[in-house]
Amino acid sequence: MFPKGYSCQFQSTGTSDLLDYIFLAAILPLEAEGCFSAMLLAISIVALSQFALYYWRAVLAGVAALPVSDRVLVAAQVENGQLTPEDFQTLAGLHDLTPDLYPNRSGLGLVRATTVLSKVLTPFSARFPPSLSGSERERVICARYAAVQVDRRLQANLDLAASLRSC
């Protein structure tokens, strides 16, 4: 019932003495402890980075799901109201042209990087299953995000102009 070399005795001093007795040979050398710490740190950094990436993509998709006004679609010359990945450059140009009343808000820098990365990965996405290769869908989300940001800027500018006229 017990492994060879162990007897059925109760330790009167407590659990820690019993565990020390059982795991006497399970002491990690100093080099292995450092390696374990480095491995744990690396896994933690990868997990945190993955969480940050998924969070950022969720925020991007949430903003992209907001409605886009017709004036932005007309300004970007979007046909039949459906944004395509090719519309991103036009919308990014419109975003650069519209003045920003809130300079602390971030621009389209990370979204542009995502679009470029999606373009680079498109040739390789044919090797993956359709559920994993979503570069076209990602670029549409980026285009919708840019359209929503342009719409927000235009609306803020129109609100400011209306408030100045009412004074």
What whole-number distance in Å separates Cα of residue 57 and Cα of residue 45?
Answer: 18
pLDDT digits (tens, 9 = 90+) for 64-75: 999 999 999 998
* Tokens at 147, concatenated: 């359209």
pLDDT digits (tens, 9 = 90+) for 81-112: 889 888 999 999 998 888 887 777 767 888 88
What sign results for the dihedral spanned by CA atoms 102, 105, 107, 108? negative
Percent of the chain whose pLDDT exceeds 90: 27
pLDDT digits (tens, 9 = 90+) for 110-166: 888 888 887 777 777 666 665 445 678 888 899 999 999 999 989 988 888 888 888
Look up residue 148 and give its DSSP letter: H
Check pLDDT > 90 for residue 50. Answer: yes
Prediction pTM value:
0.70
Reported confidence tier of residue 22, pLDDT bands at 50, 70, 90: low
Which among 123, 72, 116 has a CA at the least distance from the CA of 98?
72
N-to-C CA span, the chain = 91
